[in-house]
Amino acid sequence: MNKQGSFLVGLATGIAVGAVLGLLYAPDKGSNTRERLSYLLSKYKNQLEELLKQLQQNTDEQTTNEAKEESQKVTNEAKEKAEKLLSEVETMMEQMKLKN
């Protein structure tokens, strides 16, 4: 499960970063770009929160102590990365709101 959790966090991070960069370089009015970016960031934030819930549920379902310890370590690392990304998303959303 640790590889899958790390992969999912990496995938979500890559998708979010790619979408943000794509929108920032897209030839469109700034207000339209900010609106789309805000929508996408909100969507990715919700997906990351769901991923965290799934990782926590998977951790709770482990049966052996060793597996639980390892999955908890991976879950904590994934949670920290996801929380950092969520924080960055929220900061970007706030900046977009201030520009409007």
Give the domain range for residue 46.
2-99
pLDDT at 74: 81
Total domain count, the chain: 1
The answer to whether the beta carbons of residues 10 and 74 sit under 8 Å apart is no
Which run of H or of E encompasses 8? helix 2-24
Q: What is the mean pLDDT of residues 1-8?
A: 70
* Distance, CA of 39 to CA of 59 (rounded, Å): 31
Instruction: Provide the whole-model pTM.
Output: 0.42
- Work out the average pLDDT over 24-36: 74
Tens of pLDDT, residue by residue over 54-96, are 777 766 665 566 676 777 788 888 878 888 888 888 888 877 7
